[in-house]
Amino acid sequence: MAELLLEGSRGEEVRRLQRNLNAALADQVVILDGKNILPLETKTGIFGKRTKAAVMQFQRDFKLKLVDGKVGDDTRKALAMRVLVIEGTISRNPNPSPATPKPSPLPRPSVTPVVPTPTPTPANKHWLFQAQPAAGLTPPPFFSTAGPSASVLTGQVSFGIVYRTASEGPHWEFGGAFQPSFNSQNSPTDPRYTLQLQGSVTYADPYSRGRFHTALFGQVLLLTNLAPTSFAGGVQVGGQISLDIIEDKWNIFSQAGVQLAGQWTLCGQAGGCAGQLTFGPVFTVLGTTIQWDLQ
């Protein structure tokens, strides 16, 4: 019995399945989340939601008993038969002996074969616009030149542009964002309001299962704190887990990371010309991402 292929499977068998599905469903349109998913991407070798939807469409077309999106022996046999019919028959004897000539049959009226119009390949959506409201927690730092400080509750919303190298499977994402935020403190070291610019590099989906996704990220931060005015810069690394509400449109997420930051208060302000360096944990307890395709 061959290996059962299902959502989450990976490897060359999945690539072969995706190529066969593209051939078997070449004259069809399969809609998922309002988009035609055919032909399937065959480079990553990952059995995702699009592959599952295509398998279920084939199972319905071939009138199989189970329409479950899983590829077992019955689906394999049906798919092999369908692709064989499309691509032509295979001779069992590569060197057949010459056959006795037979009388030529009467000519039949010529019939022009009907060739199905191939479904256009949907464009891979690389550029995205994202909006991310979130609530977070910054515990006391591991180290700070400003001395002990209390935990800070934060709220923020960021708006940014993201470029991703693929829409399925492990891939890289590069982005920039503008993020206004506020926190529960209002002190020279933790002003109430902050404007932040950030650049990020993300390795998305090192592990994913269904609607569940993970990511590892690094960020460079430039901040302007208001009342009192100060400037800060830093770097942050961490990880994220997310759950799709609407695939490729809307998710909820949590993040955990560590941040190294330096801050300088302008002369003439409260605690003027004061500088500080901090290193400590940063958490986004709950956030949501809403994104739109830009191409």
Angle, CA of 184, 190 and 196, to the nearest 5°: 95
| 21 Ramachandran zone, left/alpha/beta (phi>0; psi -120 to 50) | alpha
Residues of each domain in the chain carrying CATH 2.40.160.20: 127-293
107, burial (CB in 10 Å: exposed 0-12, middle 13-18, buried 19+): exposed
pLDDT at 108 over 70: no
Higher pLDDT, 18 or 148: 18
Tell me the pLDDT tens digit for each residue of 176-229: 999 998 888 766 566 778 898 999 999 998 887 767 889 999 999 897 877 667
Q: At 75, is the pLDDT very low, low, confident or very high (cuts 50, 70, 90)?
A: very high
Task: Share the mean pLDDT of the chain.
Answer: 81
- What CATH code is assigned to 127-293? 2.40.160.20
How would you write 99-117 as a 3-class SS string?
CCCCCCCCCCCCCCCCCCC
Question: How much is the pLDDT for 87?
Answer: 54
Host H or E run for residue 35: strand 35-36
Tell me the pLDDT tens digit for each residue of 2-43: 789 999 999 999 999 999 999 989 888 999 988 999 999 888
How large is the average pLDDT for residues 229-237? 86
pLDDT at 262 over 90: no
Question: How much is the pLDDT for 275?
Answer: 76
How large is the average pLDDT for residues 143-167? 84
Q: Are 206 and 170 in contact (CB under 8 A)?
A: yes
